[in-house]
Amino acid sequence: MPFSLSPSPPLLRLLPIPRHSFSVVKALCITGMSGMHASTAPADSHDGSKATRRNKRLEVEGYAVEGISIGGQETCVMIPQLRVAFDIGRCPQRAISHDFLFISHAHMDHIGGVAMYVATRGLYKMKPPTVIVPACIKLTVEKLFDIHRALDGSELKHELIGLDNIIQIGEEFSMGKNLLVKPFKTYHVIPSQGYLIYVVKQKLKAEYVGLPGDEIKKLKFSGIEITDVIRSPEVAFTGDTMVDFIVDESNLDVLRAKVLIMEATFLDQSVSIEHARSFGHVHLSEVVALADRFHNKAIVLIHFSARYGQEEILSAIKNLPESLQSRVSALTEGF
Ligand SMILES: [Zn+2]
Ligand SMILES: [Zn+2]
């Protein structure tokens, strides 16, 4: 059989691959499939601790929060229990198993791996995912998928949904079971939005509390509405933003969510607040100044600048005022 240079997977399997070159092929596949942070991409270059890298997943308020978030490099934060990935970064391999992907904005470190995420789920015959993006970029993201289809003939099956964060429009999306997601306004240098997941519960109306079970059953079968629908803000994710989202009156539920995952790109005096704002980011000192606004049980900080190492991040958190420090943790994978 004549040799072909075509890299399609079936041909690779058919071609006689010399034993010594197998590790090279494998390395290429791993690089392509898992997103580059596990190989020789710049994400490794700033910390010099590739050998000791661990999965630094956090446990907060009953949720596992995992992923990688390095400002300007890659952000993908996952909550496996909710089957949700917030932003996709370079598409880390474990993002593939999450059915919902919520994109905060179109900077490459947040959306870069979106086609790889959809393609890999297709490759593994997984259910086409639901990808939610800010409504204003939906058409452009559609074109991006069309370009990939034109390039490689793949189907890239997924459901793409644009949600608008304008409060008066009040768009939301049901994630099935008892969950729904609403976008909220964030303040970055390009159009952006955060996402707030609510748990929806039925609660017996006050006037029926204390009634015997049979009577409640009777009322129910007679068609009377005996429950109120209660929504409780559960998990919020900001993506990139300035602190303005905190003082935005329409975001009160975000500050009441059980878990708030928010960016804090800059941590110390090596960068001024003005500098942070000029790039559309949060400076930790601004968070301290607004500490009394947060009613969240847990706050997970993400998206630290690559200029910091893990020690600096942990020490910045240790130095927070007690009201924050007891609730704040940091996602430090990759640092
Ligand atoms: Zn970013
Ligand atoms: Zn950004």
Average pLDDT, the chain: 86
- Split at pLDDT 50, 70, 90, the class of 36 is very low
Ligand 2 centroid to Cα of residue 131, in Å, is: 18
Q: Measure the CA–CA gap between 146 and 254, rounded to whole angstroms.
A: 34
Ligand 1 centroid to Cα of residue 108, in Å, is: 8
Provide mean pLDDT across the span 188-212.
94
Phi, psi of 239 (to 5 degrees): 65, -160
Q: Which ligand is nearest to the CA of 109?
A: 1
Q: Which residues contact 36 (CB under 8 A, 6 or more apart)?
A: 43, 90
Look at residue 220 in the predicted model and tell me its pLDDT: 87
- The more confidently predicted of residues 32 and 239 is 239
Ligand 1 centroid to Cα of residue 300, in Å, is: 16
Place of tokens 């020490």: 315
Look at residue 99 in the predicted model and tell me its pLDDT: 98
Q: Measure the CA–CA gap between 150 and 319, rounded to whole angstroms.
A: 52
- Percent of the chain exceeding pLDDT 70 equals 84
Q: Are 117 and 95 in contact (CB under 8 A)?
A: yes
Ligand 1 centroid to Cα of residue 303, in Å, is: 7
Ligand 2 centroid to Cα of residue 73, in Å, is: 10
Ligand 2 centroid to Cα of residue 226, in Å, is: 46
Task: Encode pLDDT of 263-309 as tens digits.
Answer: 999 999 999 999 999 999 999 999 999 999 999 999 999 999 999 99
Q: Which ligand is nearest to the CA of 265?
A: 1
Provide mean pLDDT across the span 155-181.
92
Q: Measure the CA–CA gap between 19 and 1, rounded to whole angstroms.
A: 19
Ligand 1 centroid to Cα of residue 265, in Å, is: 9
Look at residue 253 in the predicted model and tell me its pLDDT: 97
Provide mean pLDDT across the span 301-324.
96
Ligand 2 centroid to Cα of residue 90, in Å, is: 14
From start to end of 164-240, where are the E strands?
173-174, 179-185, 193-204, 227-237
Chain mean position to CA 175: 15
Alpha helices for 112-224 (secondary structure H): 114-123, 138-152, 213-221
Ligand 1 centroid to Cα of residue 177, in Å, is: 31
Of 22-36, 47-61, 237-251, give the lowest mean pLDDT range.
Answer: 22-36
- The more confidently predicted of residues 129 and 20 is 129
- The more confidently predicted of residues 130 and 168 is 130
Q: Measure the CA–CA gap between 331 and 237, rounded to whole angstroms.
A: 13
Ligand 2 centroid to Cα of residue 193, in Å, is: 11
Q: Are 183 and 136 in contact (CB under 8 A)?
A: no
CA dihedral 125, 106, 146, 160 (to 10 degrees): 50
Is residue 188 pLDDT above 90, yes or no? Answer: yes
Is residue 21 pLDDT above 50, yes or no? Answer: no
Indicate yes or no: pTM above 0.75. Answer: yes
Q: Measure the CA–CA gap between 258 and 104, rounded to whole angstroms.
A: 20
Q: Which ligand is nearest to the CA of 89?
A: 1
Place of tokens 């890299």: 7
- Split at pLDDT 50, 70, 90, the class of 168 is confident
The overall longest dimension of the chain from CA atoms, in Å, is 81
Look at residue 55 in the predicted model and tell me its pLDDT: 64
Is residue 41 pLDDT above 60, yes or no? Answer: no
What DSSP state is assigned to residue 128? Answer: P
Is residue 201 pLDDT above 70, yes or no? Answer: yes
93, HSE (Cβ side, Cα atoms, 13 Å): 12
